Structure 1
Amino acid sequence: MKFVLLISGENEALAFSEIKSVAAIFDPAAKIRKRKRLILLSSGLIGEGKAIQMQARLAFTRSTGLLLFSCSRKLLNKKIEIFDWASVYSSSFSVRIKGISGKESRIALLERRIGGKIFDILQAKGIKPRVRLEFPKTEIEFFFLGNTAFCAKIIAVQKEDFEVRAPRYRPGFSPVSMSPKLCRCMVNLSGAAAGKKIFDPFCGTGGILIEAGLMGLKIEGSDIDAEMIGKCRKNLKFFKLSARISVADASKISGRKDYVVCDLPYGVSSYLSEKKKFLYPKFTRALSSHLGERAVLCIKKGEDEQLIKKGFKELKIIKSFSYYIHKSMTKKIIVIE
């Protein structure tokens, strides 16, 4: 089946890689292409049900639609006339247009024109169509990219309210916690399927573990700061999540850790057990010995990147992304195998 995914504009490279990582869980052979903010996914194993599951996991994807057809703008009217709208219509419908610049009134006029054509086609087939602009059963979207038009039936949208899980609303607060949306994206970049375990050796107040747990993954975390561990336990309890949590040194990892996802402390407001020039290489040396599948690390862009690499043995960076936080802070998300 073919799907169209619309990503947010916050960080397109990160959003695209997140989709590829999650799609590979369901179908490693899925074909994925990026056309600006539109992602085209083709898979023999991913049906509507799995595509909906994917959307539920994704942090930087706004919607997922079943691709009905694509064509040049010149042929759009003909495509609309010959497409079997009865095969996708259910109860009520709406038409939305995206990718066209100009006044809202012009876009609304085009939506009404296309919607009117679909209405007439359905009516000619003996159906009594109902237009419903809010919460329609059948949501049709047209995406325009250059000279190409893509038509999709929206099957899932971003429903996560990440703001309600923002650090300031958790009972165990820390000013250095990452945003829930970025935490979720990092977990997805690991490629861990539901039921697998995510380990965070710098768990702090538990932001990454919360998102992983809410996605159905098993979670384990540690931190050298006992106060942070106390706050982490309080937050996990608040979100009704269970995990193995302990006070431990991240440079002394023991046992195989298939998926490691963490935000390394950088020492401005966060607690460091020792200077970064010693801690970071010690941690990555330990990671080299115990990593099973994949690690996703968040570090401060710049000199921290070189400190991380000092401890590498057989580890290899396979992906790297810059993520802007504010004018004096840009983070680097690196994916390691």
Structure 2
Amino acid sequence: MYVLELGGQDDEFAACEAASAASGVELVAPGLARAATITERVSSLAYTHRASELVGTTDADVASARTLLSAAPIEREGTVAVRARAVRETADVSTQQAERELGQVLVDRGFAVDLDDPDHELRATFSGDLCALGWLETESVRDYGTRKPTDRPFFQPGSMDPLLARALVNIAGARAGTTLLDPMCGTGGVLIEAALVGARPLGADAQEKMVRGAAENLDHYAPDAAAATVRGDATHLPFPDDAIDGVVFDAPYGRQSKIANLDLDDLVAGALAEARRVASRAVVVGDRSWANEATDAGWNVENQFERRVHRSLTRYVVVLSR
């Protein structure tokens, strides 16, 4: 059993992404989830910071955590360090006291403490009325989170930030050996993250400048990816049935389609139908929910999320399967 430390403010969305790299994911407290198993893909998640082998859970106070650790079997050797964290200020606890007292328990059990480069790190995470103790197993590598769309060689306003794009491709099933398509690829933010988690990214866009720009951005961030971008109509994709593993697209926001003779509703409906023809899984983002249109196109709606970006923009995320 494992405990996952989630990031962001939307735990349901973070847990949905975590399920792409772990099994049996279940929220247990603000910012915390439990998982039955994990895979190496945890290290590529956007909204899971860490996964630890669960020692146990108890009340959110230092005395209870100390009692739990004192009674727990520990089949480890080498040096240790204790890191304590209070999630979003939901627990009234001194993390310094927790580190000190839990560290003393480990010293009393024969371990040497090494705060700089320990062989094992015990994490004590306090959230609400729960404390989870776990031995750190893996951390997500989130250096891309500081990248900004404006850092790309080719930039256009409205580009999706890397953290959200990474989460979407993970939810859509991107991983080594899979192919992920964005049929409205814009500047290629989704394609970049798909490439960086090991998937083959394919992009299409109605505008030639976007096709060229996405290719330029892909070459900059993932030069070794077997990527391809083409000018194309999202409602008539140049791919055979079931040729794609997952589809992600960010529908146009409150504006007319760039494809002649198609209004926005017809564009998205057609894109949803085509996505279902070529893939068995999709994630659609927009400034409104496209769940009804997805259902009309034959998709099953697995999940829906609302993510507030700023006062005038809320992104709606719909997760689809067939």
Interval of TM-score (by shorter of Structure 1 and Structure 2): 0.7 to 0.9
**Pairwise mapping of residues 103-118 of structure 1 onto structure 2 (< 5 A)?**
106-118=94-106
With 238-247 and 196-205 compared, the bigger mean Cα shift is at: 238-247
Out of 54, 62, 76, the residue aligned to residue 49 of structure 2 is 62
Q: For the aligned residues, what is the CA RMSD?
A: 2.5
Matching residue's letter, 1:12: D
What residue in structure 2 maps to residue 272 of structure 1? 258
Which one is further off, 65-74 or 112-121? Answer: 65-74
Distance 1:146 1:300 in 2: 33
CA 1:189 to 1:248, structure 2 compared with 1: closer, same or farther past 3 Å? same
- Asked whether 1:299 is paired with 2:292, we answer no
Q: 1:148 Cα deviation (Å)?
A: 4.4
Q: 1:57 to 1:117 in 2, by over 3 A?
A: same
Q: In structure 2, what residue type is equivalent to 1:332? A: Y
For 1:10 and 1:324, the matched residues in 2 are separated by 10
Change (3 A) 1:271 1:97: same
Verify the 8 A CA contact 1:95 1:141 in the aligned structure 2: yes
In 1, distance between residues paired with 2:152 and 2:195?
A: 15
What TM-score does the superposition give when structure 2 sets the normalisation length? 0.86
Q: Unpaired runs of 5+ in structure 1?
A: 24-29
Find the aligned partners of 2:36 and 2:294 in 1 and give their Cα distance.
Answer: 36
TM-score, normalised to structure 1, is 0.83
Q: 2:27 aligns with which of 34, 50, 64?
A: 34
Residue of structure 1 aligned with 2:206, choices 209, 224, 228: 224
Q: Which residue pairs with 1:313 in the alignment?
A: 297
User: 1:166 matched to which residue of 2?
Assistant: 148
C-alpha contact (below 8 Å) 2:3/2:52 kept by paired residues:
yes
Deviation at 1:114, TM superposition (A): 1.9
Quote the offset at 1:221 in angstroms: 0.9
Specify the code of the residue in structure 1 equivalent to 2:33.
I
DSSP-derived class of the 2:21 partner: helix
Q: Hey, what's the Cα distance between the residues in 2 that align with 1:77 and 1:165?
A: 40
Equivalent-residue separation in structure 2 for 1:55 and 1:238 (angstroms): 25
Give the corresponding residue for 2:310.
Answer: 326
User: Displacement, 1:323?
Assistant: 1.2
Q: Give percent identity, aligned residues only.
A: 25
- Which residue matches 1:27? none
Q: How far off its partner does 1:212 sit?
A: 0.5
Q: 2:87 matched to 1:101?
A: no
Per-residue CA deviation, residues 242-295 of structure 1 (Å, 9 max, x unaligned), is 312111111112412331111112255x9632421331222223334x133101
